[in-house]
Structure 1
């Protein structure tokens, strides 16, 4: 099937695409995520179709069936329109009696289409607002963004996602301190804005400290590659290598230096606040989830009681909660996903 010929309505009426939008089957999700990356020219149609599927499936029961009726109606309209163009003889009263019932039905379907498309375009227009996520008073708060990237926010820190995040961009603004584990997306580089600098990411692990009023911003890279641009100096770009740290403040020049290792455990001091050694010795997943929830500051719930009794052993240090769960899956498989600010574990 040539999906490149699809328009928004075609995507929305495709059952596999619907399952991808509603996160119902992993195979469909993987297929469409890869297809969308390979075909950025269809991003606008895909975004509109996703909005349509989500809108019509949100508590509406059989609304997805209306998409099928909509597709059929549009096809009939096109056939009817072509037939009328080709008809040279005057239309008799008998002929019109056959045509108008179909025209009335198609007219109703097209009204539905126009209403849905107008609403979707209105929803995705300039009125779309940024999304703010605040850590609050907890020592740390873990957030999994729509693109799959994991962020650990330090106490009283916050991020603001730009409008259209993961649809037209992957930009956010940080105030405070955060540890990032970013997923790759060739179409949309991950960009972190602070008051002093901008950080462009392709897929990496790093820490940024940018507290308001401190006069200093520090970026520490642990894995991957980032490009740092100073505010007001777009031509001045610095590329950091792993285990390097860039620091800038109002009193001293910009510096790039190796990470500061603790002389006792030889771990980088820059992420001492997020580092944790989690030791598990033949413990049930329910008990492990409680530890993860407390440390990472994110709620973990079970959709299936069976998996609560799965038992694991292991040691984790400096992993995000996503990486920790990925590692646990290797020995005794289970599924998990991020939904409405929670991690849901199922069989």
Structure 2
């Protein structure tokens, strides 16, 4: 197979865009090599990414014997994101076309789930968001997040100003991309924090699990894995770092979930702002009843996760209807 054609097919394979015929051609080519663990002996002037593509392709192809050709290859492609997150396969995220024709819009979420703020809306409290693809974002107070109009249909492109923590749902066909000025972070499934709120137009990307690929001005800058960070300051050379503990970077997420002799009413006010819900109380419920719960939450928990602990500790129960939460006695 010609090298240029092979490059195109391997790249399409890694982005989940191969047709059945192209998958068949790749399989035949791979079998003709006898499942070689190393890439064919291309010239040293060849694109180094081609070798990386082959290495990743070879590891995927050996995960499971090919008995029913088309079905198995589709299954391998579908599992790629899971493999990436589990760290079983070195996955390099290649730049995908990102057009600026995407118009930012407010995403429409399912009834009862928090939805992103309107375009350019700056939140004045930490907000827990569930995106249309079920990814979870914790948007820090003073920040804004915009979703492209084609979100979840093409590239899942979002634009961030400020700081946010992302826990991304895997989708090999629709890579998740976070844009901060001219810095792009590409990811399929992982958890990471991005802070653009620093001085000197600083952008800091911190990965808590999985792997991301970072670009600036259409050039790959770094591939980050767990506990690694990268900081940009204007046009200076980015500064990489490895962290023994990422907690200081992400501890802001649980700030509003530290309850020290905090009343039920105050807790519900915080949760109302964070999850965009409305609380009602049965008459017998004592809203001034206080509770101490510290170090119980990481910050990415759902509303139900938090209410389960709070209400159980206070001896109450609750029900959720749409965006209304009703607290009752047991």
Identify which of structures 1 and 2 has the higher relative contact order when contacts are C-alpha pairs closer than 8 Å and 6+ apart. Answer: 2
Under a length normalisation based on structure 2, what TM-score does the superposition of the two structures give?
0.50
Under a length normalisation based on structure 1, what TM-score does the superposition of the two structures give?
0.48
